[in-house]
Amino acid sequence: MNIKKITTFALSAVLAVSALAGCGEKKSDEPKEDNSLVKIQEQGYFTLGLDADFAPMGFTQDDGTIVGFDIDLANAVAEKMGVKVEVKPIDWDAKAMELSTGKIDVIWNGFSISDERRQEVLFSNPYLSTKQSVIVKAGSDIKTKADLAGKKIALQDGSTSEDAVKADAATYESIGDENISRFKENSQVLMEVDAGRADAAVIDEIFVRYYLQKENMTDKFVVLEEGFDEEDYGVGGRLGDYKFMEAVNKALDECKADGTTSEISKKWFGEDLVK
């Protein structure tokens, strides 16, 4: 075999290997099969992650039982899907990691839908609306958001309470980030105001109205009429788990249509607040 033939043969071999490699790369770019719903159906349950101190959405009773509006709704949805719910308290700051690593299947705990969270979470359709409210002690001089300028504010770390304050640029700048204290639980946030270490708190309205009524503290605090933008609650699933989330949405629609969500809402809020 002469040099020209050897060179031609070698070049053909290289091109063939390159072509095979190219085919392999193209194949790896193809979308993975979505077996998210099948997986849930096969194991017979989905794992619900929550901050177990967020009443009335999901919280721990004195006997250790976790109850709440979202727990009741999740169980109703699971029943429609033919599966059960496994409830798992998590570190709220690590919720996205708990979800992405498969330790939980959904974040379902008064979870506010936001564009930022959509980067890490696949949301269901909204099922409830709320807003971030400003809470002060009875008799406080703070009557509006403008009165928060230079005041000490308490809120839950990693919550949409902080997002709402920061989104209101004028209010956020007037307060000053150095005057904002962050805590792990909403109950701690209210304790700061009660003890006088904070002048006001920013908390989810649904939580604070339920909590103040339950703890007979409605005479100690005032929820300002002026709050921050309204937001929607949704179920947070893993990015790519479209079939599972489609099933959740279908079950949510069925629960609304047959009056299940209305009854659950009346149980926890005294009225039907479900979207």
pLDDT digits (tens, 9 = 90+) for 55-90: 899 999 999 999 999 999 999 999 999 999 999 999
**pLDDT (tens digit, 9 = 90+) per residue, 158-199?**
888 999 999 999 999 999 999 999 998 888 999 999 999 999
pTM (2 d.p.): 0.68
User: Quick one: pLDDT at residue 269?
Assistant: 82
User: Quick one: pLDDT at residue 206?
Assistant: 85
Specify burial of residue 263 (Cβ count, 10 A radius: 0-12, 13-18, 19+): middle
Neighbours of 189 (CB within 10 A): 27
Cα separation, 138 vs 76, in Å, equals 39
- Residue 3 scores a pLDDT above 70: no
Cα separation, 32 vs 240, in Å, equals 9
Neighbours of 16 (CB within 10 A): 10
Cα separation, 25 vs 155, in Å, equals 48
- Residue 6 scores a pLDDT above 70: no
221-223 vs 106-107, strand pairing mode: unpaired
Backbone angles phi, psi at 164, to 5 degrees: -65, -40
Q: Which amino acid is at 46?
A: F
In the block, residue with structure tokens 């849930």? 40
Peptide bond into 126 cis (omega under 30): no
User: Quick one: pLDDT at residue 75?
Assistant: 98
In this prediction, what percent of the chain has a pLDDT beyond 70?
A: 88
